[in-house]
Amino acid sequence: MKVARKPLDRLPRAQTLVGQTERILRDAVARGHFPGNKLPSAVDLAEQLGVSRETVRQAEAALERDGLLTRYRRKGTLLQPPALALKSAKARVIGYLQADYAEAVGGTPSALMLQGALREAGRAGFQLAVRHAPHTDVDRALRQLHESTPLRGIIFAAVAEEKLIRQSLGLNLPAVLLDHDLPLPRVSSVREDSAQATRLAVEHLASLGHRRIAYAHWRFEDCNPWRIRGYRDGLRARGLPRRRAWELLCEITGAGAAQLVTRFLALAPRPTALICYNNTFAQLVLEELRRRDVRVPGDLSLVGAGGEDAPGLTSLVADWPAMGRAAVKSLLRAMKTPDSAPEHQVFTYTLRRGRTAAPVV
How confident is the model over 99-157, as pLDDT tens digits? 877 666 666 788 888 889 988 998 898 888 888 877 777 778 777 777 777 888 889 88
Q: Which long-range contacts (CB under 8 A, 24 or more apart) does 46-53 make?
A: 49/21, 49/24, 51/17, 51/21
Q: Is the pLDDT of residue 39 over 70?
A: yes
The three-state (H, E, C) secondary structure of 75-112, written as one string: CEEEECHHHCCCCCCCCCEEEEEEEECCCCCCCHHHHH
User: 80 vs 25, 72, 179, CA distance in Å?
Assistant: 14, 12, 24
- CA contacts within 13 A on the Cβ side of 78: 7
Q: Is the pLDDT of residue 13 over 60?
A: no
CA gap 357, 173 in Å, rounded: 46
pLDDT of residue 275: 98
The residue ranges of every structural domain in the chain are 17-81, 83-193+327-349, 194-317
Question: Do residues 100 and 144 touch, judged by C-beta distance below 8 A?
Answer: no
Q: Is the pLDDT of residue 339 over 70?
A: yes
pLDDT of residue 203: 97
Assess whether the region 83-193+327-349 and the region 194-317 belong to the same CATH fold.
yes
Length of the chain counted residue by residue: 361
Topology of domain 83-193+327-349 in CATH is: Rossmann fold (3.40.50)
For residue range 95-111, list pLDDT tens digits in order.
898 887 766 666 678 88
Max mean pLDDT among 66-75, 85-94, 121-130 falls in 121-130
Residue 10 CB neighbours (<10 A): 15
- Does the domain formed by 194-317 have CATH 3.40.50.2300? yes
For residue range 282-292, list pLDDT tens digits in order.
999 999 999 99
pTM above 0.75, yes or no: no
Considering the domain 17-81, what is its CATH architecture? Answer: Orthogonal Bundle (1.10)
